[in-house]
Chains A and B, each alone.
Chain A
Amino acid sequence: MALILENHQAKKLKPPQEKSSYWAIVRRQFSRSWLNRIGLIIILAMGFVALVAPLLANSQPLYVRYEGKVYFPILQKIWPLTHLNLYPEIREWNFDKLEKKGADVRYTLVPYSPNDYDLESILLPPDEYHLLGTDEQGRDVLSRMIYGSRISLSVGFVAVGIYTLIGIIIGALAGFFGGRLDMLLSRLIEVVICFPTFFLILTILAIFGPSIYNIMIIIGLTGWTGIARLSRGEFLKLRDQDFVTACRSQGMKTRRIIFRHILPNALAPVLVSATFGIAAAILVESSLSFLGFGVQPPTPSWGDLLSQSRAFMDIAWWLTIFPGAAIFLTITSFNLVGEGLRDAIDPKLRR
C-alpha cells in the first residue's frame, strides 16, 4: 500500500532539476507553504517602505510644474541631496497658493512629514486625508509609522548582524578547538546567559544615554549567547567529519578550514536563529521605546508611538491600534520566515 502510494506520488513530482544545490532545495522547501511566502513578502514590503520612506510620506510635493518649469521639491528632503541646495528659488514658496495660481502640484501618497505638527487637526480619527488619524500634536500617524519602520528594521538587522558575528566567532573557537578554550568560553556564555538581558540593556542605556546606535550595539553585545551555543554544537559535530580530516591532510591552514569549509556547513541553523533574533530584537527595541529608553523624540518609532498613545487611550483608539499592529505584523512575519526556514533546512522533513 505504502509502496503504491509512493509510486503514485513519484509520478506527480516533477523530474529532479539538473542543478539542485543545497540552497536551491531549501528555497523550494521554503516556498511550498503560502504562509512562508506571505511572511517573506511582508518583510520585503516593509524593507521597501523603510528604504523609500521620504518618497512615500513627505510634505514637500513630488512634482510641481509652474510657468513652464518642472521642479521636484521632494528632492530637497532626501538625505544626501539636502546639502545640494537644488532649488534655491522655491525655498519660500507656498505650494497651496501656487496651486491656486494654476500650477500643477502633485503630492506623494502621504502628503505629511512625520514631524509636521498642525494644532488645528489634533486627535483626528482616520479619514480620507489622514488615513490612520492624527496624534495629539496633529501629526499624521501613517507618516510617523512609515518612518518608524526604518528604526525597527535597522535595529533588527544591525543588532542581529553584530551578535551573529560575535556568536559565530566564539562558538567556532569553542567548538573547533575544544579543551580549555572551550571550557573558558562556555563559562563566559553561561555568565552572559545568567544576566537578565532586558535589565542589562536598560542599565547600559541609562548609563550611556538612549540612542538608536546604542540600542543596536547593546542588543548586539548581549544577545550572542544563543548563536554561540548553536554554532559551538555544529562545530563540535563537524570538526571530526571526514571532509575536515581531508582538509587537514592537505595541510590547510586552520583559519581556512574554519571559515571556508566548516562554517558554510554550520550556517543554516544559525540563519534560522538569526531570523527569530530579528523578531526578538525588534520587540526589544519597541519595548525600550515604550519605556522611554529608545529613540528620542521627535524621531518616530513604533514603540514610542504606542507609549505616547497611553495618555489618549480612551479617546483615540487609532493611536494604540495601528503602531501595535505594525509591530505585531513585523514580528509575525519574521517568525513565520524563521519557522519556514527551519522546516526547510531540517533534513528529517526533506523528502
Chain B
Amino acid sequence: MSYYLFKRLLAIIPTLLGITVITFFMIKLAPGNPVSLKMQAAQGLKSEALSASVADETLKLYGLKVELPTYYEAWIHRTTAFLYGDDPKVDPKFSRRALEFLGQNFIQYKIWLTEMFQLNFGTSFKDHRPVWDKIKEALPITLALNLIEILIVYFISIPLGVFSAVRSDSFSDKTIMLLLFVLYSLPSFWVATLLLMYFAGGDHLNWFPIVGLLSDGAENFPFWKKLGNIAWHLVLPVTAMVYGSFAFLTRFSRTNILETLHQDYVRTALAKGLTFKRAVWHHAFRNSLIPLVTLMGTLLPALLGGSIIIEQIFAIPGMGRLAFESVLARDYPTIMAIAAISAFLTLISLLISDLAYVWVDPRVSFKAREVR
C-alpha cells in the first residue's frame, strides 16, 4: 500500500509541474501588465509623465522584471558569438534578446513556483491585497457549497437509482428517467434566472432573497439564527447547482445497479432463498457503489467550474465569483493562483478517488494496480 501510494504521489509531480508551467506561460502571453494598467489609469494626466524608469520600477515591484545573473549574461554572449560569429545575415541582437527573454521567464517562473509553495501568490493587481488572503476568504464558501451539494446529490440519487433499477422498464421507472433526462439537459443559468424570477420577489412569490449570503446586519446574529439566515440564502443557488449532477448521478447509479442485478452472484443469492430486498441491498447495491465512489473524484472539478456562473448570478463571494472578477479585471496574480489551486485540488481529488476505489473493492489490490 505504501509503495503504491509513494508511486502515485511521485506521478503527481510532473503533472503539477506541467500545470504550473502552462499557467505561467499563459499569463506571460497575455497582453497588459501593471504598467500598462497604470498607463491607462494615468491617461487623464499625461502618459509621458510615466517615464521609462517608473515603468521599470513598477515591473520590478511586481516581480515582472528580474536581474539576470551575470554568468547567464556571459553565457548568452558566448553562445550568440559562437553560433553566429560575424555573420552579417543574422541579427545576433534578436537571438540575444530571445535568450534573455527565456532566462527572464525561467527565473520568474522559479521565483513564482517557490513562493507559491510558501502560499505566497503575490499581491492582486486590482486592490493590492495579498492574493492568498482573497482566496482564504473565498475558498471555504465554495468548498462548503460543494460539500452540501455532493451530500444532497448522493443522498437522494442513490436510493432513487436503486428504486428505478429494481422497477426497471415499469411506468414509474420510465417517468423518472425521462424527467431526469430533461433535468440533465436544463442549462443551470436559465434555471437560476427562472428561480430568481418566480421565487425571489417581483410579481411572483417572494420567498427567498435575490443575492448574497447574509442579510444586511446579520453578521451580529446569534449563531443559530445566522446559520438559518445563510441556509435561507442558499436554497436557490444550491437548487440551481444540484439538479444537474443529481440527474446525472441517478441515471448513473441506476445503470450500475441494473448491471449488478444481472450478475450471477445476485441470482445465486436469490436462489439460495434470500429475500429480494436483501439480495438488492446486501449484494447488488454494495457492488454497484464502486463506480460511484470513483465518480466523486471527477465530480469536484466540474462543480468548481460550474459554480462560476451560479455564484455570479447569486452574488455569492466564493471562488467562482473571485475567478470571474479577476478575469474581468485582468488580475493576473489572482488568476494564476486560482488556476493553480483548482488544478491542485482536482489532482488531490483524483488521487483520493483512486485510493477509495481500492478501499471499496477488496478485489483490487494496490500491488496489482500499476501506475500509469
**Which residues from chain A sit less than 8 Å from chain B, CB to CB?**
183, 186-188, 190-191, 193-200, 202-204, 206-207, 279, 283, 286-287, 290-291, 303, 306, 309-310, 313-314, 317, 320, 324, 327-328, 331-332, 335-336, 339
Contact = CB atoms under 8 A, between A and B. Distances in A.
A317 B26 CA distance: 41
B213 interface: no
A335 B185 contact: yes
10 contacts: A194-B346, A202-B308, A203-B327, A206-B330, A286-B187, A286-B189, A291-B308, A324-B190, A324-B194, A327-B187
Interface string B188-201: 01100110110001
A122 B203 CA distance: 20
A283 B196 CA distance: 20
B189 A287 contact: yes
Given A310-B193, A320-B197, A188 B18 contact: yes
Q: Sorted from nearest, which 4 A-B pairs have the closest CB atoms?
A: A324-B190, A191-B18, A314-B202, A332-B185
Nearest to B182: A332
Contacts of B30: 207
B346 A306 contact: no
Size category, B interface: 35 or more
Task: Determine chain A's interface SS by DSSP, over half rule.
Answer: helix
A287 B327 contact: no
A196 B346 contact: yes
Interface string B281-309: 00000000000000000000100111011
Contacts of A195: 19, 22, 339, 342-343
Contact of A206 (B189, B197, B327): B327
B15 A291 contact: no
A198 to B, nearest CB: 4
B45 interface: no
A199 B328 CA distance: 12
A227 to B, nearest CB: 16
Given A195-B19, A196-B346, A291-B309, 4 more contacts: A187-B14, A190-B15, A291-B312, A320-B197
Contacts of B312: 291
B360 to A, nearest CB: 22
B181 interface: yes
Contacts of B308: 198-199, 202, 291
Nearest to A188: B18
A199 B193 contact: no
A339 B185 CA distance: 12
Nearest to B189: A290
Contact of B301 (A190, A194, A310, A317): A194
A194 B15 contact: yes
B335 A194 contact: no
Given A283-B187, A332-B182, A203 B26 contact: yes
Nearest to A206: B327
A331 B187 contact: yes
A287 B308 CA distance: 10
Interface in B1-40: 14-15, 18-19, 22, 26, 29-31
B236 interface: no
A13 to B, nearest CB: 20
Contact of B323 (A186, A199, A320): A199
A202 B342 CA distance: 15
A196 B185 contact: no
A327 B190 contact: yes
A200 B340 CA distance: 11
Contacts of A196: 301, 304-305, 323, 338-339, 342-343, 346
B324 interface: yes
A313 B328 contact: no
Nearest to B203: A314
Contacts of A313: 193, 196-197, 202
A287 B194 contact: no
A45 B30 CA distance: 41
A313 B202 CA distance: 8
Contacts of A193: 301, 346
B186 interface: yes
Contacts of A199: 305, 308, 323, 327, 338-339, 342
A180 to B, nearest CB: 12
A290 B343 contact: no
A197 B372 CA distance: 23
Contacts of B327: 199, 202-203, 206
Given A194-B301, A306-B193, A314-B197, A206 B342 contact: no
A187 B16 CA distance: 10
A118 B262 CA distance: 63
Nearest to B201: A314
A237 to B, nearest CB: 16
Given A206-B330, A335-B185, A191 B305 contact: no
Contacts of A286: 187, 189
Contacts of A197: 305
B305 A194 contact: no
Contacts of B202: 313-314
Given A191-B15, A191-B19, A328-B187, A202 B343 contact: no
A291 to B, nearest CB: 7
Q: In the complex, which of the residues B18, B190, B324 has the most CB atoms of chain A within 10 Å of its own CB atom?
A: B190
A188 B372 CA distance: 12
